[in-house]
Homo-oligomer: A and B are copies of this chain.
Amino acid sequence: MSQAVQAVSQQVTGDLYAEVQTFYARQMRKVDSLDIEGFADTFTDDGFVVHSTGERAQGREAMVAGMRASLPRYQDIAVRHWFGHLLIEPDGDDRLRVSYYTLVTQTSREGNVSFQPTFTVDDVLVRRDGRLLTLSRVIHRDTPVAPPAS
């Protein structure tokens, strides 16, 4: 099999692309509506998040507690998570590596929009009983890169 054919065969299918985008569309609606329990339910029981600060929340209970603690930050603002450049890489039968950009808007009651710094996120999704769940999420705050030597 030529390299060219291999490259094509590694392409993610349209169906999987749509399924993963739909998964995040639902998961982010839960975050953005502060539905903490609903959000935690999109993770596996042993799922974990590593925040850009290095802080790690493992398991549903820790995740819910962490989000509750951060609720005051979302008082009186409407938060929306925007994704960009989703990259999906199947990693075995029921496991996907997914990375994406995120931009977080915060809209005040008066309608003023402000922005959190941008982030890049690395997820592992797994399929359990047919549906996708997040097994792990590692959040990286975007920082300036050193320009390559000329």
Contacts and interface: CB of A to CB of B under 8 A. Distances in A.
B7 A13 contact: no
Interface residues of A, number: 65
Contact of A78 (B74, B111, B145): B145
Interface in A92-122: 101, 103, 105, 107, 109, 111-113, 115-118
B129 A118 contact: no
Given A17-B21, A18-B18, 20 more contacts: A3-B129, A7-B130, A12-B19, A14-B14, A14-B16, A17-B18, A25-B86, A26-B87, A29-B85, A36-B148, A71-B147, A78-B118, A78-B145, A80-B101, A80-B118, A103-B113, A107-B118, A109-B143, A109-B144, A113-B118
